[in-house]
């Protein structure tokens, strides 16, 4: 490794000081006392190191220590706002724990993801955080992880059983659906992203649970969408709005999908929320500023990032043979202006109440492994 003039090695520093490389190493790694280096020598080394601006070669350290103090982060799309924010939280928390983050974008492709995982292994990351692509299942490349710690985010897998942290997507959709139902909506449809992906399917299931519990129709004709893009959502919303019974409310199961719904509504000269109510998933800055500002289900991204990292660090520090931990974090509804109250106005009889998600319904759920 070519050393720049500004960064000598321990060897050059030792030669300049007339001590051994071992002594320099012990001082710089904070182990002078343990190895009985004298205070005088220690100070000489520290002064020389400070003056030279030495940067210890982490490669050599890692090889000797068999530990890199780095983690791998493999996510489907770095520019997706959810993953971008998640990456930020993970990177910041990792750095505070002395870890570096090696990032890879799996491009929503299982083959790219498999390659990214192998690459992380070759770089001997101490652990891996993986947000798996939706389909197909990614268990095969995960087997090559062996005993190397890995934590999933935004996904649960049964085989191999890995620890995971996700948001309670199902509950989020239930809350959103009940929010509409409580405001008089009976025809509630879903604009979904990619069927088969964890978050998507959980949200569909939550919508179904709430609809069924209220005796409302929740058949497949009320779900539209084939992919996670504005265009796909536009077509899906168009189909829902133009064919069959028009819904009074729509759940857009992602913020990009909400944009498609907004576009479709505008194209069809349908006013939100007057003619159609909308609840979107995952908050973005713009969602609070649109006209109208959107009622959304918000994920706790900061907590997600923090918990997934801490779960991984715990695994790195102390591998455990027990069942994998799975944290399902609560989501919450943020009410803004995109849902119309369809209930008849009864003056001064029933107070209009604003109900957010009840905290007792949303405690972190720890799920036992199957």
Partner DNA sequence: TTGAATTGCGCAAACGATTGTGCAACGCTC
Partner DNA sequence: GAGCGTTGCACAATCGTTTGCGCAATTCAA
Choice from 11, 97, 243, 266 touching a second copy (CB under 8 A): 266
Which CB, 42 or 124, lies closer to a second copy?
A: 124
Are 297 and 282 within 8 A, CB to CB?
Answer: yes
Q: Which is nearer to DNA, 11 or 365 (CB)?
A: 11
Q: Is 103 a residue that touches a second copy (CB under 8 A)? A: yes
Contacted entry of a second copy, DNA, none for residue 20, CB cut-off 5 to 8 Å set by kind: DNA
Distance CA 25, CA 27 (A): 5
Q: Which residues have C-beta within 8 Å of that of residue 37, sequence separation ≥ 6?
A: 23, 26, 27, 45
Q: Are 326 and 366 in contact (CB under 8 A)?
A: yes
Residues pairing with 127 in the sheet: 71
Q: How far is the CB of 285 from a second copy (least distance, A)?
A: 6
355 binding a second copy? (CB under 8 A): no
Q: Which of DNA, a second copy, none sits in contact with 38, Cβ below 5 to 8 A by type?
A: DNA
DSSP per position, 22-90: HHHHHHHTT-TTTTT--HHHHHHHHHHHHHHT----HHHHHHHHT--SEEEEEES-TTSHHHHHHHHHH
Contacted by 36, from DNA, a second copy, none: CB < 5 to 8 Å by type: DNA
Phi and psi (nearest 5°) for 12?
-70, -35
Q: Which of 24, 26, 32, 105 binds a second copy (CB under 8 A)?
A: 105
Considering the rule CB under 8 A, would residue 70 count as an interface residue with a second copy? yes
Rounded Cα–Cα distance for residues 236 and 222 (Å): 10
Q: Of these partners, DNA, a second copy, none, which one is at the site of residue 28 (CB under 5 to 8 Å by kind)?
A: DNA
Token pair listed for 336: 């803004």
Scanning 64-72, 225-233, 236-244, 252-260 for contacts with DNA by CB under 7 A, the matching segment is 64-72
Q: For DNA, give the closer residue by CB, 27 or 110.
A: 27
Query: Which listed option, a second copy, DNA, none, makes contact with residue 81 (CB within 5 to 8 Å by class)?
Result: a second copy
**Which one of 66, 269, 354, 366 is in contact with DNA (CB under 7 A)?**
66
Q: How far is the CB of 279 from DNA (least distance, A)?
A: 52
CA distances from 245 to 209, 240, 241 (A): 21, 8, 8
84 vs 242, beta carbon nearer a second copy: 84
Assess 205 for contact with a second copy (CB under 8 A).
no
The token pair that represents 116 in the structure block: 């990214």
Q: Is 70 in the site for DNA (CB under 7 A)?
A: no
Name the E strands within 283-330. Answer: 295-298, 326-329
CA distance 217 to 227: 24
**What residues line the site for a second copy (CB under 8 A)?**
1-2, 4-7, 53, 55-60, 62-63, 66-68, 70, 77-81, 84-85, 87-88, 91-92, 95, 100-105, 107, 116, 118-119, 121-124, 143-148, 230, 256, 259, 262-263, 266, 284-287, 289-291
């Amino acid at each position: 490794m070519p050393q720049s003039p500004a960064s000598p090695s321990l060897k050059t520093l030792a030669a300049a000081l007339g001590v051994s490389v071992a002594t320099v190493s012990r001082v710089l790694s904070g182990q002078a006392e343990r190895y009985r280096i004298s205070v005088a020598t220690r100070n000489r080394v520290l002064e020389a190191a400070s003056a030279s601006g030495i940067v210890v070669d982490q490669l050599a350290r890692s090889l000797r220590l068999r530990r890199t103090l780095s983690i791998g982060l493999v996510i489907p799309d770095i520019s997706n706002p959810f993953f971008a924010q998640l990456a930020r939280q993970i990177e910041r928390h990792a750095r505070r724990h002395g870890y570096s983050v090696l990032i890879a974008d799996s491009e929503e492709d299982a083959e790219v993801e498999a390659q990214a995982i192998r690459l992380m292994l070759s770089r001997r990351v101490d652990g891996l955080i993986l947000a798996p692509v939706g389909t197909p299942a990614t268990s095969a490349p995960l087997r090559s992880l062996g005993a190397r710690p890995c934590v999933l985010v935004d996904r649960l897998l049964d085989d191999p059983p890995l620890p995971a942290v996700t948001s309670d997507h199902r509950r989020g959709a239930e809350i959103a659906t009940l929010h509409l139902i409580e405001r008089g909506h009976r025809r509630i449809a879903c604009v979904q992203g990619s069927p088969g992906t964890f978050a998507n399917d959980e949200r569909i299931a939550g919508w179904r649970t709430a609809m069924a519990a209220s005796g409302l129709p929740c058949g497949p004709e009320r779900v539209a969408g084939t992919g996670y893009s504005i265009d796909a959502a536009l077509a899906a919303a168009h189909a829902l709005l133009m064919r069959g019974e028009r819904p009074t409310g729509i759940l857009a199961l992602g913020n990009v999908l909400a944009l498609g719904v907004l576009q479709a509504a505008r194209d069809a000269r349908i006013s939100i929320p007057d003619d159609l109510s909308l609840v979107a998933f995952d908050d973005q800055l713009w969602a609070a500023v649109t006209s109208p500002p959107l009622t959304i289900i918000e994920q706790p991204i900061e907590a997600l990032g923090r918990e997934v990292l801490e779960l991984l660090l715990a695994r790195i520090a102390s591998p455990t043979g027990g069942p994998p931990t799975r944290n399902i974090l609560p989501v919450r509804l943020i009410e803004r202006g995109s849902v119309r109250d369809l209930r008849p106005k009864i003056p001064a009889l029933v107070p209009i109440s604003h109900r957010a998600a009840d905290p007792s319904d949303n405690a972190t759920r720890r799920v036992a492994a199957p």
